[in-house]
Amino acid sequence: MARKKKKAEVSGQKQYKKRSIAAEVWRNYKKNPSAMIALVLVVIIVFVAIFAQFFYDFKKDIVKQHIKEKFQKPSAEHWFGTDNYGRDVFTRVIYGTKYSLSVGVVAVAISCIVGVTLGLIAGYYGGFIEDLILRFCEVFTGIPSILMGVALMTAFGQSIGVLMLAIGLVYAPMYCRTTRAAVLPVRDQEYIEAARVAGVGDLGIMFNHVLPNALSPIIVQVTMGVASAILCASGLSFLGLGVPIPMPEWGAMLSEGREFMRDYMYLTIFPGLAIMITVLSFNLMGDGLRDALDPKLKQ
């Protein structure tokens, strides 16, 4: 209880010292070596996702088949070997970064817009509206995300846009709950009351006063959300329901490589590693952010 109160006090100050808080968070974050490694990795991954398409030509390097060169073991020429169509796996893995990452980021953006808004409304108004929204969330979280994803993908057709939407909707209830939980302690703070007395409208209070002070858990959730969205997307693609082939999405590559696993294991190892490193980076970054945002929680 005492800790909760302290936390509210800290976030209460945030409003007046926004810049120093950001500096403080960065100062804390820097102290954590694994979080720093994760940050560097995330920067590299984002960089690769953005610029790989300028180095490789989609038609020539990614989907064109070279049947003569199929199933070559990893070598100096083909770092990760070649697949059953003779395509260079390394190039495909590098190029595929943009699919996983963009699905992760856009899906989280969708979850955020839907979830945070609903969570804000639920937390701020309370009462019947809160009940209704929470029940609604319960219905959606009652279905496992992967099954819900499968159903959504089937209903709206298989494409990368639908994949983003499906994953975004599947995870939205989580953001809704996090936001609501973060808003609850802020709602009764005196500065909210003060804003109301000063004649600020509900919307203004929600977005200018409540949200900034409930931001820390949402930031952490977003970072880790990218990680789980990428995992979920790779799972759907693995089941043949994500990004359509021949796009070099990691999950889809895994699914293709699986058929030749007995003899050509490297076809499954590298895309899996790519998923793991990306997801791990975002998770570690989220962990580091959580510690940095709320040093009191760190033991």
Q: If binding is defined by CB under 8 A, does position 159 make contact with another protein?
A: no
Q: If binding is defined by CB under 8 A, does position 216 make contact with another protein?
A: no
HSE toward the beta carbon, residue 104, CA cutoff 13 A: 30
Rounded to a whole number of angstroms, the minimum distance from the CB of residue 185 to another protein is: 18
Task: Give the whole-angstrom CA distance, residue 171 versus residue 159.
Answer: 18
Q: If binding is defined by CB under 8 A, does position 194 make contact with another protein?
A: no
Residue 245 structure tokens: 């082939």
Choose, by CB under 8 A, the member of 156, 159, 161, 212 that binds another protein: 156
Q: Which of 10, 2, 37, 1 is nearest to 215 (CA)?
A: 10
| Amino acid at site 250 | W
Q: If binding is defined by CB under 8 A, does position 44 make contact with another protein?
A: no
Among the listed ranges 76-84, 108-116, 151-159, 200-208, the one in contact with another protein (CB under 8 A) is 151-159
Choose, by CB under 8 A, the member of 54, 59, 127, 155 that binds another protein: 155
Q: If binding is defined by CB under 8 A, does position 287 make contact with another protein?
A: yes
CB nearer another protein, residue 68 or residue 299:
299
Long-range contacts of range 193-199, CB-CB < 8 Å, 24 or more positions apart? Answer: none
CB nearer another protein, residue 175 or residue 238:
238
Total Cβ atoms within 10 A of residue 45: 19
Q: If binding is defined by CB under 8 A, does position 265 make contact with another protein?
A: yes
Rounded to a whole number of angstroms, the minimum distance from the CB of residue 27 to another protein is: 14
Answer whether 245's CB lies under 8 Å from 183's CB. no
Beta bridge partners of 82: 88
Choose, by CB under 8 A, the member of 68, 135, 188, 197 that binds another protein: 135
Cα-based distances in Å from 277 to 43, 52, 89, 270, 280 = 13, 18, 17, 10, 5
Q: If binding is defined by CB under 8 A, does position 212 make contact with another protein?
A: no
Residue 274 structure tokens: 């790519």
Which spans of this chain sit near another protein (rule: CB under 8 A)? 34, 135, 138-140, 142-147, 150-152, 154-157, 227, 231, 234-235, 238-239, 251, 254, 258, 261-262, 265, 268-269, 272, 275-276, 279-280, 283-284, 287, 299
